Amino acid sequence: MITVKATIQIYLPVLFFSTLILCLSCAPNIPTAEYPAEMERTFPHALDEVWNSVQEVIKTSNGTTINTNESAGIIVFYLMDKESKAKVYINVYMKTSTNPNITEVYLTTRLRSGGYMEPVDREFFKNLAETLTNR
């Protein structure tokens, strides 16, 4: 005679895997990105120099600064997307690496609608590298 405990031990894994297969087969197709988002880059410059260059990049890209905290290394700004006319919010976090002449820059972007604006990260880091090179 099979006990209740034995029945549960037999059917619980079967129920679990059946539910797992059912859930996975119903999952929506997740779109793949055309390229991996670039969220950080290291620059061989002091933090003050990178801070000033980020502010220059914001000005030249017609960005509007929302908040800055230099002691924390944070700048929050937005750009207007020309096609969708939506605001693209950008958070920039900068910190000195273990070497004081190397600065790590982290970037996150968000559309007001919740989506992701793909060329912003590449364009931002490209403009920042050019600005630092021209200093």
Residue 5 pLDDT grade (very low, low, confident, very high; cuts 50, 70, 90): confident
Let me know: does 43 contact 50? Beta carbons within 8 Å. Answer: yes
Q: Which two tokens stand for residue 97?
A: 């690496």
Segment holding 67, helix H or strand E: strand 64-69
Dihedral pair phi/psi, residue 130, rounded to 5°:
-65, -40
The domain 40-133 is classified under which CATH number: 3.40.50.300, 3.30.310.80, 3.60.9.10, 3.30.1370.100? Answer: 3.30.310.80
For the ranges 27-31, 52-56, 129-133, which has the lowest average pLDDT? 27-31
Decide if pLDDT at 41 tops 80: yes
Mention every residue, 6+ apart, whose C-beta is less than 8 A from residue 66.
Answer: 76, 77, 78, 89
